[in-house]
Amino acid sequence: MAFIELRDLWFSYSPESEPVIKNINLDIEKGSYTAILGHNGCGKSTLAKLACGIIPPGKGKVFVDGIDTADESRAFDVRKKCGMVFQNPDNQLVASIVEEDVAFAPENLGLPRKEIRKRVDEALATVDMSAYAKHATNKLSGGQKQRVAIAGMLAMGPECIVFDEATAMLDPAGRKEIAEAMKRLNSEIGMTVITITHYMSEAVEAGRVIVMNDGEIAADGTPEEIFSQVEKLRSISLAVPQVTELMYELERDGYGFPRGILHAMDAADAIESAVREARR
Amino acid sequence: MLKDITFGQYYPGDSILHRADARIKIIILIEYMIIALAARSLLAVAVSVAFTVFLVVASKIKPGLLLKSVKPLIFVLIFTAAINLFFTAGEGDPVVHWNFINIYREGIVNALLMAVRLLSLVLGSSVLLSFTTTPLDLTDAIESLLSPLKKLKVPVHEFAMMMSIALKFIPTLIEETNKIISAQKARCADFDSGNIFRRVKALIPVLIPLFVSAVKRAEELADAMECRCYHGGEGRTRLKELKSRPGDYVFLLCATAITAGVILLNSITTQEVFDFCKTLFS
């Protein structure tokens, strides 16, 4: 059984409007790192909210660790298992002092004070914000605020965190901070990470990429598989990572390169060896 | 102009006032307001001013910040002082008489008294509560003080949570307002000319986007809070429990004594004080 299971899922915000999610079947495995790509309005944020049980499914079923999210009486259990980090850092911090904000979720769970303290300290250490525990949240940079938001989720003790365009409002430095934090969460503590983004450079880091278009899954596979289909991505108005685009253009001009090169250093190696080959 | 609003902002620090129990601070603030408003005789005013100075010094808040908190009130201060100065009719001859303007001795005293009162109210409540108490402590304290009302089915926790969020969002919304003002200025909006009615009207294009965005923020915040398992005050625990130490009670006792003292001192007139001093030294 997969950690999150979506079964024949349909969803629309009002009965008369066009459905935003059309018949999606999807399994997210425990401990995996998944990126969901798609242009604005393709339903990727809705899909994330459905997967966390913030909104109940219209038609079909959503299971989080075997729990049906439509079951109101267990909404609490679903939320505890699956956290979510939102786009705007200002709109998800509840308290004005860092550690008080991180403590919000464990407080809601009614944990004893010692346990709250422990979780807050651990969560802040994980996102490398321990030094800021007593600082005011509104004086932090965007990336730091978003790290506090992540710590706030970690303190709840979830098994999965969904990042709903968590880097969209950050500057490049902040974006890098958060991308690294996501990667670390997945590789070091085995957190199931789902990131919704339109930055290709972030999707490249994931283990699995799902491309959404018009409420449906347009492609699903490893980053190498997805980004080698340059024409297909362009047809649904998505850009490809710059490195992949370069390799694609070179290949079209008749240079033979292996497909699925995603990182700049790999590309440099491939080009170097090709140049050596040609000299010989 | 909006940059200067410091109301409701917490300044981290480590002073007696930062460490004091927020519940005690609220009670002392009520007493403090009584002191500031009741003080009428010279001696009582002197005591209330001394108490204010003590609070300001004890808070270790930088004087620059305090000035900032007073700055937006300068207009109100001058206005009330002026009204008191010109419109207090006194016995005896006016000190200044020019055309229809009469300024009496009582008017000058009243104007000064009013200015001192307002100033100490603002300074005292800032350093006693908002500058030195985190919004969460503040709301915890209010919740704790009002908790007897829970028995009457008053939603005390919800009220406290609403207040803490409102306080937390003041700096965010001020920043947003400044951004909107700049954006509207870039489209040739004029906020600085015309009479008062025109200026108020000019603010409408600022207020509407501000409200829209505030509602959107509220929706997002509600989602984020739900995500973190928020479900009202029931079964909620706290990272920091409010704890009052013996020192807090000493503080409270002193403040109560000062309040009683000020009310008593009010009945002693300045003349009596002079007389008393005379008998003391003769």
Domain limit, last residue, from A189, A223, A257: A223
pLDDT tens per residue across span A56-83 = 888 888 999 888 888 888 888 888 899 9
Q: Has the ipTM of the complex gone over 0.85?
A: no
Chain A touched by B238 (CB under 8 Å): yes
Q: CB distance B221–A111 less than 8 Å?
A: no
- Between helix B135-146 and helix B156-186 the angle, nearest 10°, is 150
Whether residues A140 and A248 fall in one domain: no
The alpha-carbon gap from A249 to the nearest alpha carbon of chain B, in Å, equals 42
Q: Name every chain A residue with its beta carbon within 8 A of the beta carbon of B226.
A: 54, 79
Could you list the residue range(s) of the whole structural domain that residue A269 is in?
241-280
Task: Calculate the CA dihedral of residues B110, B112, B117, B120 and round it to 10 degrees.
Answer: 180
Tens place of pLDDT for every residue, chain A, 280 residues?
Answer: 788 999 998 988 888 888 888 888 999 999 999 999 888 878 888 888 888 888 888 888 899 988 888 888 888 888 889 999 998 888 898 888 899 899 999 999 999 999 999 999 999 999 989 999 988 888 888 899 999 999 999 999 999 999 998 888 888 888 888 888 899 899 988 999 999 988 888 888 889 999 988 888 888 999 888 888 888 888 887 777 788 888 888 888 877 777 777 788 888 888 888 888 888 8
**Residue B70 domain boundaries:** 1-132+245-282
**How far is the C-alpha of A188 from the C-alpha of A194, rounded, in Å?**
16
Minimal C-alpha gap between A239 and chain B (Å) = 29
- Which tens digit of pLDDT belongs to each residue from B64-104? 888 887 887 888 888 988 888 888 777 777 777 777 777 88
Number of domains forming the structure of chain B: 1
A250 in Cβ contact with A56 (< 8 Å): no
Contacts of A107 in chain B (CB under 8 A): 236-239
Residues A80 and A146 in one domain: yes
The pLDDT value recorded for residue A170 is 86
Q: Chain A: nearest CA to B165, how far in angstroms?
A: 7
Q: How many domains does chain A have?
A: 2
- B54 min Cα distance to partner chain A (Å): 26
Answer yes or no: do B217 and A111 touch at CB < 8 A. Answer: no
pTM, rounded to two decimals: 0.76
Q: How far separated are the first and last CA of chain B, in Å rounded?
A: 56
Mean pLDDT, residues B229-233: 83
In the prediction, which pLDDT does B213 show?
Answer: 92
* Same domain? A186 vs A81: yes
Are A85 and A172 contained in the same domain?
yes
> Does the distance separating the beta carbons of B12 and A135 come in below 8 Å?
yes
- Same structural domain for residues A199 and A278? no
| Residue A202 sits in the same domain as residue A245 | no
The pLDDT of residue B6 is 55
Under an 8 A CB cutoff, do A84 and B220 touch?
Answer: no
What is the largest distance, in Å, between two alpha-carbon atoms of chain A?
A: 71
Q: Which residue's entry shows tokens 């980053």?
A: A223
| A94 and A180 belong to one structural domain | yes
Facing A117 at nearest CB: one of B168, B221, B239: B239
Nearest by CB to A90, from B172, B237, B238: name it. B172
CATH code of A87's domain: 3.40.50.300
Tell the burial category of B107 from Cβ atoms under 10 Å away from its Cβ (0-12, 13-18, 19+).
Answer: buried
Q: What is the DSSP string of B177-221?
A: HHHHHHHHHHTT---SSS-HHHHHHHTHHHHHHHHHHHHHHHHHH
Structure tokens at A167: 């880097």
8 Å CB contact of B229 and A152: no
Q: Is residue B6 part of a domain?
A: yes
pLDDT for the residue A119: 94
Residues B36-44 have a mean pLDDT of 82
Q: Is residue B151 part of a domain?
A: no
In a domain, B231, yes or no: no
